[in-house]
Chain A
Amino acid sequence: DAKTTQPNSMESNEEEPVHLPCNHSTISGTDYIHWYRQLPSQGPEYVIHGLTSNVNNRMASLAIAEDRKSSTLILHRATLRDAAVYYCILRAQNSGGSNYKLTFGKGTLLTVNP
C-alpha cells in the first residue's frame, strides 16, 4: 500500500480555518485519497475523498496538488467538535469488497482551542 505522511499534531483556534497536510509521494494514478477522522472513544468517521480534482462537502474541502503527491484537508471554521485524529488514507481505484482494506497510519491529532 502506498504510504502517507502526516504531522503528528496540529493546533487551531475555534472559528479559524485549519489546513491539515498529507504527503503521498508514492501515490499511483489509480489511488483515491480518503480522509477519515476519529473522535475520542469512537469509530472513524468518513470525511471526504477525491482522485484528482478538489472536492467540497458539508464537512470539509479537499485540495489535491497537481502532481497528486500531496493533499490538504481544509476545515473552514474549526469548532471544538472538530478536535479529533485525522487520517489520510490511499485506496486503489479498482478495489472493492475484500480488497477495500484501509490501512491507517498514525494520523494528525487536531486540538482546537476555545
Chain B
Amino acid sequence: GAVVSQHPSWVICKSGTSVKIECRSLDFQATTMFWYRQFPKQSLMLMATSNEGSKATYEQGVEKDKFLINHASLTLSTLTVTSAHPEDSSFYICSAWDHYSYEQYFGPGTRLTVT
C-alpha cells in the first residue's frame, strides 16, 4: 500500500514555543490530507481537513489560530502547534487520501510532549 511519513516521530518542547509537524505522501499525490489527535486510551479525533492550495477546514472546537495547517504541495502538509501548552501534549496523526486507490493511508504519528 501507499506510504505516508511524518516528521518528527516525537518531539519535546517547552511551554509557549511552537512546533511544526510534517506529513508527506511518499509515492502518491494527495490533494487532501487529514490531521487527527489522539489522547492516551482514547480514539482518534479529527482536527482538520487539509486541501492542497486552499485553506484547511477545521472541525468544531479546534482553534485554527492555534493549529496552523499548510498544504503547499501535493505531497506535503504541515501542522504547527503555536504557543504550545502541556494540554496540547498528544499523539498527532496525519492521513492522506489517494484518489487513484480511493483509500486513505495513515502516517506513523508524532508524539508531542509539552513541558
Contact = CB atoms under 8 A, between A and B. Distances in A.
A36 B36 CA distance: 15
Interface in A29-80: 36, 38, 41-46
Contact count band on B: 20 to 34
Given A43-B95, A98-B32, A104-B36, 20 more contacts: A43-B107, A43-B108, A43-B109, A44-B44, A44-B106, A45-B106, A46-B103, A46-B106, A87-B43, A96-B97, A96-B99, A98-B57, A100-B104, A101-B46, A101-B49, A102-B46, A102-B95, A104-B44, A105-B43, A107-B43
3 A-B pairs with the lowest CB-CB distances in the bound complex, closest first: A43-B106, A104-B44, A104-B43
Interface of A: 36, 38, 41-46, 87, 96-98, 100-107
